[in-house]
Chains A and B, each alone.
Chain A
Amino acid sequence: MSTETRKLDRVVIRFAGDSGDGMQLTGDRFTSEAAAFGNDLATQPNFPAEIRAPQGTLPGVSSFQLHFADYDILTPGDRPDVLVAMNPAALKANVGELPDGGILIVNTDEFSKRNLTKVGYDSNPLEDDSLERFQVHKIAMATLTIGALEETGLGKKDAERAKNMFALGLLSWMYHRPTEGTERFLREKFAKKPDIAEANVLAFRAGWNYGETTEAFAVTYEVAPAKLNVGTYRQITGNTATAYGIVAAAQLSKLPVVLGTYPITPASDILHELSKHKNFDITTVQAEDEIAGIGIALGASYGGALGVTSTSGPGIALKSETIGLAVMTELPLLVIDVQRGGPSTGLPTKTEQADLLQAMFGRNGESPVPVVAPRSPSDCFDAVVDACRIALKYRTPVLFLSDGAVANGSEPWLIPDVDSLPDLTVEFATDPENFQPYSRDPETLARPWAVPGTPGLQHRIGGLEKQDVTGNISYDPENHDKMVRLRQAKIDGIEVPDVEVEDPDGNARVLVVGWGSSYGPIGAAARRVRKLGLPVAHAHLRHLNPFPKNLGEVLRSYDKVVVPEMNLGQLALLLRAKYLVDAVSYTKVQGLPFKAEELQDVLADVIKGVSA
């Protein structure tokens, strides 16, 4: 029987299994295959906070969703077209999102009575009719993998662990993916354990061959390469792009970087990545706590390095006082907050955008800090370079608000030409003639960066209020008022690019405004409603403090402004306060990104309301 090949423009695949099943690796590899093939793609990992939740339970389910297409896509997809479920828990946790007619590939080996009971199945769903609305493929993946590895002499347990590669092989066959990359990857990853490497390669091939030789699959699918802008691409996650942005900023500013940080989910990968690039004059210090992390970064900035600290919301709470010291001492500092669900420990591995007001106002006194937020994994690179520009040029701490979705998600990245990156070089103060530590550049209001070791510029700084110009301690009422206003004016005056409005129809009366990682779902939703004949404009903010200068005018040019956020309306609050605009706030805080579908409904309702 020959297999039919159907052409698709896009597919969403979700790999789901136990946390120990290697689903993240499987997803990563499929992503790399899609990238190598030239598809546009977006990914969304979803995993428990526990390293190994009890095996086979619902809390232990780990999944990786991948959306790939022959055109430019914006999100990892609302729901899967194909669900690979490695055990009953993975099936139960994910099948609700599989649409009717969706492809369901199940590893039957795990569907024992005990495992079914563990997740509350009274009867085996593979044997009753509860899955009949899907195209179900029941495959004994573990058994087949063990069989395929019989001759390797590998123990049963080790052999069984390669079943994720069997699944990957099968899916790679189904979607005509290139396989060389995965085989090379496996051999490199397990270079020190060649027998394990070969076992994984064999399992991968067994999965492929299973598709090819059995008649279980009548159809395979092709998703053509996407017509992306000309250039060289790679796949990148947000945390990696953030780390690379810092490396780039170091090179562009010709400064060493000192990262002072403390491990925290989901920000730790920035530390891991930067610690590999010491050859770029990057020092990473894993401090004793969050406070020491930022203290070390600030101390390094004081010494003339680019100080960086990275954390998530709980860490920002601990760093607040030192951010205030950086505001007072007017030193450059990059503070990265990879937001996660809060408050308190909250949802460590889930995403949220609820630290905006913390970034804006979470310090004592009038303590303004610029806030920059990336919109997608690859955008982290440009956004962090820009955050460093602001920190260095204006001598200020800058809050960089990434989030779990951006940090762990991945997408193709059009690799920038190094020569096209901005010049971030700084000038240290050197002239003792009339030197004053708190004199200001008339344009930027930045004070001189006079680093220890510079002859004749000895001076003292600190957290106490400064006398204007001299920087001496001052308790003078008028001076304090002046300094508070000066610090605010410096931040208000930071040059940021105008916000661009996407309104292809040119006649929208409704504007949707977002920030951060909701760019994808909002953009996708806007496309959908436009297809329905409902015009909508989309503006997405990278700069949240200060806002772009044209933002007020943009907001006022529409009848209605909708602000979707993964919090309870923090940007909406700021927009209302600053621009007196009656923004409609749409909010959701489930620890997951918006779905394009739900935002489509929200936007359609508002647009219809305006037209009525």
Chain B
Amino acid sequence: MTAIDLGIPGLTGVPTTDEKQTARDYKSDQEVRWCPGCGDYIVLNTMQSFLPSLGLKRENIVFVSGIGCSSRFPYYMNTYGMHSIHGRAPAIATGLAVARPDLSVWVVTGDGDALSIGGNHLIHTLRRNVNLKILLFNNRIYGLTKGQYSPTSEEGKVTKSTPLGSLDHPFNPVSLALGAEASFVGRALDSDKAGLTSVLRQAAEHRGSALVEIYQNCPIFNDGAFDVLKDADEAQRRIINVVDGEPIRFGREGEYCVVREGFGLAVAKSADVDASDVVVHDASDLNLSFALSRLSTQDLTHTVTGVFRRANRTTYDDGVRAQVGEAKALKAADLGKLLHGKDTWTVVG
């Protein structure tokens, strides 16, 4: 295995190939079995189209998933993959990433898998900054168990398990990830291939944990959850796509913008504010990123997409390997010496 440094921090150590790859190379021989119209198809296709552009050896890419509809994802990728158990994919992927610097490791998870049963692993993985790319498919519902509310469902949601409406207050996954000081957090819509690809690419290039929330439609149990963002006119008013270093404006003509308000941010009409008051996105600023995440409301009045945060911080797996490397350099691995220790005595015949 030869590691060629592409100058892409997130992929340093992962061997590349000169062989031309296409999306087809990433399709496995397994029949895809999501429901017709499921948003997962689009994400799968986007991923299969995107990966060839990284030029990595296919055998050095691994997808690890938990349980849920989206967690079937690895079966459909012609890479290495593990469809593990509910909520635990980040932990398993952490072990893999720690053991193998030559792999590009992706976690595929859903809102129930990542935020409910696996919430603990998610926040701790982000806190440690393990070099993993976590794709959180958020459809705001439990699909595989047939339609119970999830930790991202809106309050009052009527489902099979909440006939009188859900009493749970939902998570904002981006705020949660930023609260755990994730070094990379992004969001995209399943239907926005260009936007999703852009976030995926930046995630892949980032060295450290990257959480990408993908709004994904479940046509069976929560159909239309994100429709307002998919209507061209509505989307103009609602979607705030942020780009590092650029003033945050949105709307067809940039007629809306984001300004500071108190300790947070607010949406304003560009015409009403001085251009210098429009907030310029700085993805390295945790407080700004968090404030941006609060602009996204559960009812989708506004939804921020793009990369909220991208900051350099030592990754856990690099740190672990550095410690092992230093220990090896300092002290030979002499088993006999270890077993003898300091105090021995000898019995002679």
Contact = CB atoms under 8 A, between A and B. Distances in A.
A36 B347 CA distance: 11
Interface string A470-500: 0011000000000000000000000000000
Interface string A280-321: 111101011101110111111111110100000000000001
A244 interface: yes
A251 interface: yes
Contacts of B1: 453
Nearest to B75: A460
Q: By CB atoms of chain B within 10 A, which of A227, A229, A234 has the most?
A: A234
A299 B330 contact: no
B318 to A, nearest CB: 12
B276 interface: no
Contacts of A230: 347-349
Nearest to B62: A452
A233 B330 CA distance: 27
A38 interface: yes
- Kindly state the interface size class of chain A when it binds its partner: 35 or more
Interface stretch (A192-200, A209-217, A461-469, A512-520): A461-469
Interface in B99-141: 99-100, 102-103, 120-121, 124
Given A234-B340, A299-B99, A460 B81 contact: yes
Contacts of B79: 458
Contacts of A280: 333, 335, 338
A289 B120 contact: yes
B88 A292 contact: yes
Contact of B332 (A235, A260, A279): A279
Contacts of B321: 283
Contacts of A291: 88, 91, 121
A389 B77 CA distance: 33
A68 to B, nearest CB: 13
Q: By CB atoms of chain A within 10 A, which of B79, B99, B102 has the most?
A: B99
Contact of B103 (A32, A285, A322, A453): A453
B294 interface: no
Given A283-B320, A453-B102, A299 B93 contact: yes
A415 interface: yes
A480 to B, nearest CB: 17
Contacts of B7: none
A114 interface: no
A292 B91 contact: yes
A254 to B, nearest CB: 11
A418 B92 contact: no
A59 to B, nearest CB: 33
Contact of A282 (B60, B64, B96, B324): B324
B336 A418 contact: yes
Interface string B312-349: 00000000110110111011110110111101111111
Interface in A197-254: 225, 227-235, 244, 247-248, 251
B183 interface: no
Given A279-B327, A464-B83, A299 B92 contact: yes
Contacts of A258: 95, 98-99
B333 A295 contact: no
Given A452-B80, A462-B84, A232 B345 contact: yes
A461 B346 contact: no
Nearest to B78: A458
A225 B331 CA distance: 35
Given A287-B91, A452-B80, A278 B324 contact: yes
Contacts of B57: 455
Given A279-B333, A288-B124, A302 B339 contact: no
Contact of B96 (A36, A227, A300, A415): A300
Given A232-B344, A461-B81, 8 more contacts: A233-B344, A233-B345, A278-B328, A282-B324, A299-B96, A329-B82, A453-B59, A457-B59
9 contacts: A251-B335, A288-B121, A298-B95, A299-B98, A322-B85, A418-B335, A452-B62, A460-B30, A463-B83
Interface of B: 1, 28, 30, 57-60, 62, 64-65, 67, 74-75, 77-86, 88, 90-100, 102-103, 120-121, 124, 320-321, 323-324, 326-328, 330-333, 335-336, 338-341, 343-349
Interface of A: 32, 35-36, 38, 181, 225, 227-235, 244, 247-248, 251, 256, 258, 260, 277-283, 285, 287-289, 291-293, 295-305, 307, 321-322, 324-325, 329, 415-416, 418, 452-464, 472-473
Ordered nearest first, which 10 A-B pairs have the shortest CB separation? A299-B95, A462-B83, A295-B91, A278-B327, A296-B95, A288-B124, A299-B92, A452-B80, A292-B91, A303-B99
